[in-house]
Amino acid sequence: MNVLGIETSCDETALAVVADGHRILSNIVSSQVELHARYGGVVPELASREHVQAIVPVLEEALRAASVHLEEIDAVAVTRGPGLAGALLVGLNFAKALAFALSRPLVGVNHLEGHIYAAWLERDGEAEFPAIALIVSGGHSDVVLMEGHGRYRRLGETVDDAAGEAFDKVARLLGLGFPGGPAIERLASTAAAPAGRLPRARLELPYDFSFSGLKTKVQRIVRGEEGKAPPAAALAAAFQESVVDSLVTKAVQAATDHGARGIILAGGVAANSALRTALAERSPVPVAVPPPALCTDNGAMIAAAGYTRLLAGETAGLDLDIDPGLRIG
């Protein structure tokens, strides 16, 4: 069964053809990073306009790369949220038009669930439940108990900035490019040692995160308000270490407390190799993490999550709507 996955929730126009929920036939991502870089972040109106321009060529490329004709698409899966409203609308309306024209089932996908299902792409192994999913992206930092396919309970979340957002903001403070995560990771890898130990937030709830205090601390250091500023690379390494430690500590705690049989690491920040390494070292249970290219937004993860929903008998009508504030669990 060939599922076309369509993802336009933020600044990537991404379409993919995935066979039987896990075999990637094509996965085309048209990134708008350069367009938004000069503004230091994603400009919603520009994102929508770019999606409109890119979506047909990206579909054509996805079909060509998969060697699949449009008529060989068996179902259409599309991100309905969370994300930027105008950006989501482009993908959703395109998906509806395609599903209607082809007389194929349509299914709406939660973008965060898509990130989780990226962990099972190109793999044969069955998922083991219960599992803890640590979803860390530009907009979310969630610790989720996954009791089965499509069954989620959110245990924790960020009370302020998301992990990826913190990377992006600190990158800006250090004069690095956008998106900040890869830039910080690159710079940190050149440091001989981190610039000391930066704080980890203490929160009332056991699985919650807070990163805005850490960002403010970095800002004070950069401005020389805490003495002579250390080299940017050492500061980047100390920042990354603090974020990684908080994320791994909470995910491992949640896994232990809930008898999880595995941890799934998902979302754009999961591309970070310090995070991947630390979680693998400290987790008491197996860690499933997608290859870095499948951690950031893509259409294959939407097709994979949509496939599971379709198998469960879920399809959407043409009244399917976006849900920009959609959560998980």
Residue nearer to ligand KG4 on the CB measure, 180 or 262: 180
Stretch that binds Zn ion, among 46-54, 220-228, 253-261, 294-302 (CB under 5 A): 294-302
Asked if 210 interacts with ligand KG4 (CB under 6 A), we say no
What letters, b where the CB count within 10 A reaches 16 and e where it falls short, cover 6-34? bbbbbbbbbbbbbbebbebbbbbbbbbee
Give CA–CA dist 232/221, Å, rounded.
10
Tokens 């929160």 locate to 203
Q: What are phi and psi of 83, to 5 degrees?
A: 160, -170
Name which of ligand KG4, Zn ion, none residue 328 binds, using a CB cut-off of 5 to 8 Å depending on partner kind: none
Q: At its nearest, how many Å lie between ligand KG4 and the CB of residue 223?
A: 23
Q: Which residues in the 8-67 window bind ligand KG4 by CB under 6 A?
A: 10
Q: Which of 137, 141, 246, 283 binds Zn ion (CB under 5 A)?
A: 137
Asked if 268 interacts with ligand KG4 (CB under 6 A), we say yes
Stretch that binds Zn ion, among 18-26, 101-109, 123-131, 292-300 (CB under 5 A): 292-300
> How many CB atoms are closer than 10 A to CB 262?
19
Q: Which of 271, 278, 294, 301 binds ligand KG4 (CB under 6 A)?
A: 271
Give CA–CA dist 90/159, Å, rounded.
30
Asked if 32 interacts with Zn ion (CB under 5 A), we say no
Name which of Zn ion, ligand KG4, none residue 117 binds, using a CB cut-off of 5 to 8 Å depending on partner kind: none
Of 108, 137, 110, the C-alpha closest to 42 is 137
- Is there a contact between 6 and 77 (Cβ–Cβ < 8 Å)? yes
**What is the amino acid identity at position 5?**
G
Q: Which residues in the 119-178 window bind ligand KG4 by CB under 6 A?
A: 137-139, 164-165, 167-168
Asked if 242 interacts with ligand KG4 (CB under 6 A), we say no
Of 100, 102, 113, the C-alpha closest to 7 is 113
Where along the sequence are the contacts to ligand KG4 (CB under 6 A)? 10, 137-139, 164-165, 167-168, 179-182, 185, 267-269, 271-272, 296-297
